Amino acid sequence: MDQMTRFHATEPEEQRPSDGKRAPRRIFVAVLVLLALAAGMWLGFRAGQGGLALPGGIALPSWLGFAPGGNGSPPAATGPIAYYRDPAGKPFYSAGPKRTEDGRDYVAVRVGEDVSFDDKPKDASASPTTADQSGGKKILYYRNPMGLPDTSPIPKKDSMGMDYLPVYEGEAEDGSTVTVSLGRLQRTGVRSEPAERRVVTRPVRVPGTIKLDERRVAVISLRSESFIEKVENVTTGDRVRASQPLLRLYSPEISAASAQYLSVLNDGGGAGGRAAVLEGARRRLENLDVPPEALAEIERARKVPTTITWSAPRDGLVLERNATDGMRAMPGDVLFRIADLSTLWVLADVPEHDLGAVRPGQAVTIRVRSLPGQVFPGTIGLIYPQVNPETRTARVRIEIPNREGLLLPDMYADVEIATGADKPVVAVPDSALIDTGTRQVVIVDKGEGRFEPRQVTAGASGNGYVEIREGVAAGDRVVVSANFLIDAESNLKAALQSMAAPAGEKPQ
């Protein structure tokens, strides 16, 4: 062999593996390596989930994401749809697409979406009360964004795709308190005022008519047949004084009785049994309504007068004169009618619904149309115990002085009765009271945007204020503007709370 000849392997060519035989071996080795790696990763995943450690106390590295107690985020499901479930979380399922009764589509659940290697928490109800990541508050439930009485323990959307609004723990601690942001308060114009002690009066304005005081009217009439000899210069509308002569008359019956009385008197009627006869004769003249002045004249002059003078019984105004010279007057005929106008009555018709606030002794203000600008004070003397079935009003009698004589009978009058409490009471503006017919509510302003609807007992109202007998104390601030909006928010909140799932109840 030449020294320059290179060394060549002496192994036969048939003993060396060819390239076609070495390729399957490499593939087999690669598959074994991949299987080993997959098995190692699976064992590490199970060890991490179970809180196990590798032999020798070696801990799993954190970058694998399998640290003990860690919660790996499940991958988003992208497989085929396995079934459909109810959008509200109710235990209703369907193999194909379906809609609820209110028109909402069932939610598609894909393969593997409802499968998890993680163990579900034992207390599933903790989901609606988990801490809010943004504000640190716990969410109790979710309410409908349109204000409908529908709640959900989990996030959801309504039929229009709007997200349900979360209700936090701090908002539901006090069921009677409503919290409104300061910006919303400014936009809605909410305004509050303190409740104060004041005199609440409500004027009741009714029409009335001026009438004569029935106790101050007198008539001149005779008890025997008579003849009018002379009527004094007194006519209708004249004012007369008490004891002022009105007429002179002749009565045969009065003359006979006067003669008998004078006969007994001249015979010494004061002695023995004649005293009773004298008393009887005098009583007969008194029964015929002979004035005391005429009796005194008979006793003094000791003779029967031809005519007797009739005088006015009281001061007043002559309302009626029926006597004329020479006329024949029968018993009971009204010759004069005289009325004292120093005090008059005003008869007012008060509606039935205002009678509860009217009582005797209340002050009344009278105005008449013929005397504009003048006010006449008076007081209620009597409430007639009867209601007119046609007008549903009750008549009230008011006594009013008329010393100057400006008021005349049958004038129309505008009556204003001051009703209400005489002493200061706790009162709020009329706009602060919300009266639904079944309850009476005021909105109490607690400050910092917190409001409390409070049921109260209202009393009399007037002059823009209403009495609060129970529920609000003096100094409490009450909402006087836009209170209906807060009351509606409170009612909505109460309805949502009553329909919310109680704590500890697991959502479906």
The share of the chain scoring above pLDDT 90, in percent, equals: 33
Coil, strand, or helix at residue 33? helix
Q: Can you give the pLDDT at residue 65?
A: 45
Q: Can you give the pLDDT at residue 230?
A: 94
Interior CA angle at 110 toward 108 and 113, to 5°? 115
Q: How far is CA 166 from the centre of its chain?
A: 33
| Residue 393, CB-side half-sphere exposure with 13 Å CA sphere | 11
Q: Can you give the pLDDT at residue 30?
A: 76
d(CA 480, CA 192): 5
Q: Are 225 and 251 in contact (CB under 8 A)?
A: yes
Closest to 132 (Cα-Cα) out of 161, 165, 163, 162: 165
Residue 343 pLDDT > 70 = yes
The band of 113, judged by pLDDT with boundaries at 50, 70 and 90, is: low
Domains of the chain: 1-71 (no CATH), 73-119 (no CATH), 178-197+424-499 (2.40.420.20), 203-212+341-420 (2.40.30.170), 223-332 (2.40.50.100)
Of 225-229, 286-290, 435-439, minimum mean pLDDT range: 435-439
Of 89-98, 299-308, 449-458, minimum mean pLDDT range: 89-98
Question: Which residues lie below 8 Å from residue 216, measured CB to CB, with a gap of 6+?
Answer: 314, 316, 339, 340, 341, 342, 343
Residue 100 pLDDT > 90 = no
The band of 147, judged by pLDDT with boundaries at 50, 70 and 90, is: low
pLDDT digits (tens, 9 = 90+) for 462-487: 788 888 999 899 999 998 887 666 66
The share of the chain scoring above pLDDT 70, in percent, equals: 73
Mean pLDDT: which of 278-282, 391-395, 493-497 is highest? Answer: 391-395
- The dihedral through the CA atoms of 172, 178, 181, 187 has a sign that is positive
Output the average pLDDT for the chain.
Answer: 78
Strands 139-143 and 151-152 turn out to be: antiparallel
Q: Can you give the pLDDT at residue 102?
A: 80
Residue 335 pLDDT > 70 = yes
What is the model's pTM? 0.52
Q: Which two tokens stand for residue 282?
A: 């005098």
Q: Can you give the pLDDT at residue 439?
A: 83
Interior CA angle at 481 toward 480 and 484, to 5°? 100
Query: In the beta sheet, which residues pair with residue 81?
Result: 110
Q: Are 304 and 258 in contact (CB under 8 A)?
A: yes
Residue 122 pLDDT > 70 = no
Q: Which two tokens stand for residue 469?
A: 């007998």
Residue 105 pLDDT > 80 = yes
| Helix/strand/coil (H/E/C) assignment for every residue in 424-441 | CEEEEEHHHCEECCCCEE
d(CA 471, CA 486): 18
Gyration radius of the chain's alpha carbons: 55
Of 64-68, 246-250, 338-342, 382-386, minimum mean pLDDT range: 64-68
Q: Which two tokens stand for residue 467?
A: 């009495």
Q: How far is CA 410 from CA 60, 278, 333, in A?
A: 111, 49, 25
Q: Can you give the pLDDT at residue 175?
A: 54
Decide which of 408 and 168 is more confident. 408
Decide which of 448 and 107 is more confident. 107
> What is the phi/psi pair of residue 48, to 5°?
-65, -40
Strands 178-179 and 465-470 turn out to be: unpaired
pLDDT digits (tens, 9 = 90+) for 18-59: 555 566 777 777 777 777 777 767 666 665 555 545 554 454
Of 138-142, 359-363, 367-371, minimum mean pLDDT range: 138-142
Q: Are 460 and 467 in contact (CB under 8 A)?
A: yes
Q: Can you give the pLDDT at residue 120?
A: 45
Q: Are 140 and 167 in contact (CB under 8 A)?
A: yes
Q: How far is CA 5 from CA 1, 108, 461, in A?
A: 7, 79, 133
Decide which of 33 and 119 is more confident. 33
d(CA 177, CA 191): 17
d(CA 40, CA 64): 12
Residue 376 pLDDT > 90 = yes
d(CA 87, CA 107): 6
Query: In the beta sheet, which residues pair with residue 488?
Result: none
Residue 218 pLDDT > 90 = yes
Helix, strand, coil shares of the chain, percent, nearest 5, are: 25, 35, 40
Decide which of 116 and 480 is more confident. 480
Q: How crowded is residue 462: how many other Cβ atoms within 10 Å of its Cβ?
A: 20
Coil, strand, or helix at residue 153? coil
d(CA 335, CA 98): 104
Q: Can you give the pLDDT at residue 489?
A: 62
d(CA 79, CA 250): 134
The band of 241, judged by pLDDT with boundaries at 50, 70 and 90, is: very high
Q: Which two tokens stand for residue 69?
A: 């107690």
Residue 496 pLDDT > 70 = no
Q: Are 453 and 178 in contact (CB under 8 A)?
A: yes
| Helix/strand/coil (H/E/C) assignment for every residue in 227-242 | EEEEECCCCCCCEECC
pLDDT digits (tens, 9 = 90+) for 51-83: 545 554 454 454 444 444 444 444 555 667 878
Hey, what amino acid is at 312? A
Decide which of 320 and 21 is more confident. 320
d(CA 186, CA 198): 29
Interior CA angle at 193 toward 189 and 198, to 5°? 145
d(CA 331, CA 152): 97
Of 185-189, 251-255, 358-362, minimum mean pLDDT range: 185-189
Q: Can you give the pLDDT at residue 249?
A: 95
Query: In the beta sheet, which residues pair with residue 84?
Result: 94, 108
